[in-house]
Structure 1
Amino acid sequence: MSYFETLGLAEPLLRALKAKDYSEPTPIQRQAIPALLEGRDLLGIAQTGTGKTAAFSLPSLHRLAANPVGRHPASCRMLVLSPTRELAAQIAENMRAYAKFLDLSVQCIFGGVPASKQAKKLVQGCDILVATPGRLLDLCDQRALTLRNVEIFVLDEADQMMDLGFIKPLTRIANMLPDKRQSLFFSATMPKAIADLGKRFIKDPVRVEVAPQSTTAERVEQYSTFIDQKEKQALLTLSLKKGLESGEIERSLVFTRTKHGADRVVRHLVAAGINAAAIHGNKSQAQRTRALDGFRDNRVPVLVATDIAARGIDVPGVSAVFNFELPNVAEQYVHRIGRTARAGRNGMAISYVAPDEKPYLRDIEKLTGVRLTAVPIPENFVTQAAALPAAARHPSGAERAEGDRPRTRRGNGGGNGSGRRKPQASARPAGNGGGQRNRRPRAGA
């Protein structure tokens, strides 16, 4: 008898788990599911890739299936909030798989696609709704959706949601929810200030923490290279070419601090013969989906992303994460390198540290308790860098498709999934991280 069977989960759920070849729970699932089956509120702290979606999905689906009350028009019984479109889509896909043998419907709404089409899907109501805050509020304001029938409220990546300017939208949403509900918070990091703020949304929660707060994945080898900002691109290009050709790198994620910086990195990589794509808030939904699909099937082995857009990238085989620029918020580092070393694999994280980024490195090492291993610049670096071609003028084929039209409106690409206009990230040249130390990444990144 498997662990999930001992919990008394509904037979259709057990059948779905068997179809996915799930038999042993992850630590977060083992600790969270029993408490959730009892109807308790929960604050779960676990690194990305540890099975949080199943931890809240399985007991919630069991509860909904055990109490079939029917669907209310333009309403839902369970609401899951996510900071990004990609993460929302991933959660919805997983929940549909778990609910495969249940008579429960799952809908997903986010910005970047027409709200009218999403409103039509909600006319008859649904059981589970996965959403980004901006689009959710848009549909509520249009009276295409009501939250008065929500029985279970889930906030995934809670620290990220609260830390990126979502406090007011979350407060509005919480005020629309019925007081009698089960509320769940899941996050990889939970600083005290954020946890205190979370008390406004959850009552007397069970706290589940499966790893020391802000620790980094044990199987990730972490390195740093001290280098001038203007030399970073050449080092990244040479490192990726060597790693991809040797097979040491299967897929790689590269993180930049700005959207324009991500595009610039892609142009240089493409010029050097490396198939790469960028994913960030200025990309259309079609471009983001195409880039992520190409990354998943390894047609595009390098994906360059901003922090917010990278949420929800759950792709096996990411063997290396490059921090082209260090995050100016130390907690972001934990999220970034959590993209590798998944499903029992090993991984590596390489951080390029410019002189003005050394304070960020100190903050990261203090937060994680890990001292990054310093790696020097290769001896023949200058000669090899001089031989690299100039940046390509146009995006790679992975980012461009026939029929794509120039975008004449701004605001539909924000990482918060809303169609509302958001302040755009600074287009300053990369490397002016100094002076930005106290700035938080914006929700539209």
Structure 2
Amino acid sequence: MIRLKKNAPFLAGIMIIFSMTACAPEDPNAVMDKPTQETEQAAAPTDTEHDTVDHSSIEVLLLETPSHINKVFSEDFSVEADIHVPKVKKADILFAKYMTFDEQKVLSIFYKGKTPQRSLSSNDDTISYNDDNSYLNINDGFFAYCKQDYDYVKFPTDSLTSASDIFSTNKRFSDVYKQEKLGFMTKSEAFKNVSDVFTELSIDIMEDAEIYAIDSDTMQTEQDERIKREIDLQKKMGLSTIQNPTDGYKTKDVFTQEDDFYIFFFKMIQNEIPVTQKSYIIQASDRALNGSTARIAFSRNGIIQLYFDGIYQQQGVAKSPNTLISVEEALQKAFEQNNAIISTDKVTVTAVDFEYVPVPYNSDYDEVKLTPAWSLTLEYESEKTSDKSSKAEKQDSQSSVGHGMIFINAVTGEEIQ
């Protein structure tokens, strides 16, 4: 993954941005699954942060949010989405900045009793430590650690992606590694060991991490098949000299159970509200905003690889809204904007998450406002038509599928862009 910093280039194609307009009436034919938990109706707020008044508290609004929405707005815009909301009573807008990691605390976790060599980058003030077996890099909001053990299992895993990485076209971990547990430890035991590190670093995480059991038999198969795929691709391209696909990697001819490990993908939280994992760019200024991501590989020898990026630390409360727009209003806004665009794409909202999204508020690239938002995951299908060489032949029509995000500010109802 590439960290989006002040001077870093933005990854092309990371998302599709829509602008939002005023909301229209809700479709009475929408199918919505209501959660089973009930709550008492709270008194209507006397002050709101937006034009559309919702006569309930934030707690009630979120509790009454449907867990799934199936709705067709038009031929080109529909919703088939699970809705994820936290159980919270308030959703403050937070002043936040990139977390500054305690250097001595980090050393006590990863280099206890050891004396790794320290260096400081003159380019971006990254602090680095390394010894004969590992390296560690620290910067504000960023933290990476890797042991040589991980280098030998990297090839059969690094081309795969997590379920949360909606923009990648690569295969998912879940498509390849399907084993439920490994011989040296269960998933829950491994989670406990790994989560202790977050506690020591004062980072709050959600309990429902993505966890994949990386077993030796599947690693062997994936390594062999990947080598074959990449060699076949080089031959198809007509390359005269076939390059070894494992060049630049440390590899093993035979994997054993000693190489087994778990991979975890965590979601950060602030005040019990998830922080988005998605990064985006502000159109007006080309400023990149990082989502919060955390990945850890854990073996029988402990943590063998760790990568944190976009980790924020609360500095204070910017505003405490009394109410929010509903998920239905956020979807209506997305539909209206899509309806105003001349396009043949068919858009489907496939997931909606209530979460914090970083929003800039000054010229300091390390400071943001974590703003409650409805994050809409989109799948869009476009058709491309190609002419046949003969007029008698029909045109070919091929469809392609892409993904994108819309962030709707849950306080103001405006798009975050």
TM range (shorter): under 0.3
TM-score by length of structure 1 reads 0.21
TM-score, L = length of structure 2? 0.22
Q: Which has the larger radius of gyration?
A: 2
Name whichever structure is richer in strand by fraction.
2
Name the structure where helix makes up a greater proportion of residues: 1
Higher relative contact order (CA 8 A, sep 6+): 2
